[in-house]
Structure 1
Amino acid sequence: MTGPGTLSRYIAARFAWGFLGALAITMLLFFIVELIELPRRAEGNYQADLAELMLLALYRLPSRVEQTMIFSVLYGAMWTFIALSRRQELVVIWALGQSIWKFLRAPLVVTVLIGLASVALFNPFAAAMMSKFERFEAQLRLDSKDIGNPSRANPGLWLRQNGVNGPSILHARHSADRGLKLYRVVVLRYQTDSDKVLWINAEEAELIHDRWFLSNAWVANPDGEISFWKAYTISTNLSPAQVISSLSDPGTISFWSLRENIKLADAAGLSSTRYRMQFQALLARPILMCAMILIAATFSLRIFRFENVVRMVLGGLVSGFVLFFVNSWSWEIGTLGMVPVMVAAWFPALVALAIGATAIFVQESR
């Protein structure tokens, strides 16, 4: 380490490896947890062998990792800073006249790059994998013999709609493709000129333009006659944007598609709060990650003593968890519309950044 540039590259490389190590451990832990949790989720709903459960876990893993990636930043930074302190490298760095802020410049730059990559690249990948998870799980439910057992039924999804032949109520056990494809569908269609009801049971339903296309449908008319239709259509006044807004999870929508979904929901007169919250939260993620760096620095950039290690680690972890839960709580109240979306998305990150910066200024002035 013969110069400021070399020193910065060294610190950046150490932090990058620390982050990747923490990320790898997080992925392994989540994969194990998913393998334990998925059989419980499948019990009574669908049958899956070990290979199918592992595939489901892999599909779901990126979404889980994305939700907690800020902790990988925190753990990687703390490991890097404590390792530098343990090897007395911090003493040498301070002796070279480096301030804390100059020292943190390299980790902060790497963190900003990580944050931007997680939003622009990893989020679309995680959203695509989560969509695959929903489709694959829905197919397993469809193929399972236990799927039709009403004693094990879940509340499912409900839609009320109007059509050319009258109003109807649609219930589905599961959905995929942001709600545009439904599985195990029951439709109660009311006749426009009477109070009679047409009962329809179908394996699948897919919304294309202004019609639901049902597959393998059993239709019971008001007179009690039952007929089987390989393909059956029902008109609807619901647009794809309305269905997506009602049924889709923002986690299955790529960052690059969120603005389009916001526009579609607004044009349909529906609430776009969830999508706006997701969009702003993703934009704020690099700032939140930088706040994690400052939290790690506040507790870890000290002269290494074994008796202080536990206190340093616990202090950083507790602070990180507090920030995570405050951010999650802010997400919830923002989604419910209790506070403006911009405030809910940006307030935790900016406040944490300000508190961390203040703590470092105080620490440096001592």
Structure 2
Amino acid sequence: MAKLFLTRSFAVLALLVLVLQALDLLGESDKILAHPGNGQAQILQYISLRAPGIIQRFLPFSVLLGTLIAFMQLNQNSEVIAMKAAGLSAHQVLAPFMVASLFVAVVAFVFNERIVSRASATLSKWEAVEFGPIPDARGGVTNVWVRDGDDLIHADIANGRGAGTRLTNVSVYDRSGGVLKSLVEADSAKPMAGGWELDNTRVFDVAAGTRKALGTVRVAQGVRPDQFTLSSVDPLGLSYTELGTAIDDLDIAGRPTASLKANLLHKISGPLSTVLMPLLAAVAAFGLARSGKLFVRAVIGMALGFAYFVADNFGLAMGNLGAYPPLLAAWGPFVLFLALGEAVLIRTEE
């Protein structure tokens, strides 16, 4: 039964990924090929970066549909009736599916941590440069903007944490009353007491129209390193431990983290949603196939599964908006539909 469940689920997943990746590529291929020099190699690179995200998003859907297909097959062949006649309860009939789905959840969590987060982070950086050469950020953030009073500071890449933060290709737009006075450019920058130390600095005076080299200068007093490294935290592009570290840094800096905490908890509740699918689809496993209501039961199971996905996305959206506390946003739909699935199963079969 576990083998039947796994083969049907992964077959549905393969079909969904094939179709959805093809549709996604139709919409993105023109943007990829628009950059000079891009060709088939970049198309294949995009597929390798996009496919993990599609797998992550639609794995629970695939488990739901695979479970329904397996249950309908068992029901049509009267195998469920045979098992119940042998003395097995509804929960015992579901046990192989639940154990197999727990295995799928563990695999999904590891897959998300090791592959999806890295692929998503790389794809975001690639999209930020409009599918040009990907900047070598080495785990840092790219294209960072920070405001210092009227001045604007831009860095191509920000790496490190705290005093170890390093900026690459820095531009400081010195403004007064919204009018640009000078542009300061530097190859790199590091935090020092009283601001940031810029190396190999060049200054362009807008009024005079002249450029000169200044060597090492200090600017941006009062700008903290976390304003660069934590200016934009993408939960999907970070692993569980990396996101937890970013949340700790933001807490120390006194910045709001409720939405990120909801995403952190969802990195566990999301893969575990596969364990719910056999329970929600169990309504299709029982009842007499000859009664003519097997299709209706399958529709009910599908409706319960899709209702969970709607509630899960709604809860996470409310968590991102700050309307729900993180624990409720991440785990509320899971607990609610676990209780609902158990209630349906006990009332109808136990």
- Shorter-chain TM-score bucket reads 0.7 to 0.9
1:360–1:190 CA distance, 2 compared to 1 (3 A): same
Unaligned runs of 5+ in 1: 1-10, 145-155
1:221 & 1:25 partners in 2: Cα distance? 59
Per the alignment, in what secondary structure is the counterpart of residue 182 of structure 2?
strand
User: Does residue 169 in structure 1 map to residue 159 in structure 2?
Assistant: no
1:122 aligns with 2:115: no
Seen in structure 2, the aligned counterparts of structure 1 residues 195 and 39 have a Cα distance that, compared at 3 Å, is: closer
Q: Deviations over 1:255-289 (max 9, x none)?
A: 12222111111112112223211111122235422
C-alpha separation in 2, matches of 1:306 and 1:201: 77
Of 245, 255, 258, the residue aligned with 1:270 is 255
TM-score (norm 2): 0.79
**Which residue identity is paired with 1:364?**
E
Paired residue for 2:308?
Answer: 323
Distance 2:168 2:84 in 1: 63
Going from structure 1 to structure 2, the CA distance change for 1:50 and 1:182 (only over 3 Å counts) comes to: farther
Query: Using a 3 Å threshold, how does the CA distance of structure 1 residues 51 and 71 change in structure 2: closer, same or farther?
Result: same
Aligned to 2:140: none
- Secondary structure of the residue aligned to 2:6 is helix
Whole-angstrom CA distance in 2 between matches of 1:23 and 1:206: 46
The equivalent of 2:286 in structure 1 is 301
Are the structure 2 counterparts of residues 85 and 42 from structure 1 closer, same or farther at C-alpha, using a change threshold of 3 Å? same
Query: Which residue identity lines up with residue 90 of structure 1 in the other structure?
Result: V
Per-residue deviation at 1:56? 1.2
Instruction: Label 1:60 to 1:85 Cα distance change in 2 as closer, same or farther (>3 A).
Output: same
Q: What's the secondary structure of 2:174's corresponding residue?
A: strand
Q: CA deviation at 1:43?
A: 8.3
Instruction: Give, in angstroms, the shift of residue 321 of structure 1.
Output: 2.1
1:235 and 1:300 map into 2 onto residues whose CA distance is 68
State the one-letter code of the partner of 2:268.
Answer: L
CA drift of 1:343 comes to 1.0
Deviations 1:264-317 (CA, angstroms, capped at 9, x unpaired)? 111121122232111111222354222222111123433335954543343333
1:83 and 2:73 aligned: yes
Distance, in Å, in 1 between the alignment partners of 2:99 and 2:80 is 19
Q: Does 1:159 align with 2:146?
A: yes
Structure 2 residue 240 is the aligned partner of structure 1 residue 255: yes
Tell whether 2:155 aligns with 1:189.
no
Query: Is it true that 1:223 corresponds to 2:207 in the alignment?
Result: yes
CA distance in 1, matches of 2:307, 2:10: 23
Distance between the aligned counterparts of 1:327 and 1:181, measured in 2? 38
SS in structure 2 opposite 1:68? helix
Q: Do the aligned residues in 2 keep the contact of 1:30 with 1:61 (CA within 8 Å)? A: no
Is this contact kept in 2: 1:70–1:288, CA < 8 A?
A: yes
AA matched with 2:12 = A
1:182 to partner: Cα distance: 9.8
| TM-score of the superposed pair, with normalisation by structure 1 | 0.76
Partner of 2:138: none
Number of corresponding residues: 333
Query: CA deviation digits over 1:43-74, x for unaligned, max 9?
Result: 87887434312311320221232123211221
Identical counterparts, % of pairs: 20
1:101 Cα deviation after fit: 0.1
The 2-side partners of 1:207 and 1:326 are apart by: 46
| Alignment correspondent of 1:149 | none
Task: For structure 2, list consecutive stretches of 5 or more residues without a partner in the other structure.
Answer: 135-142
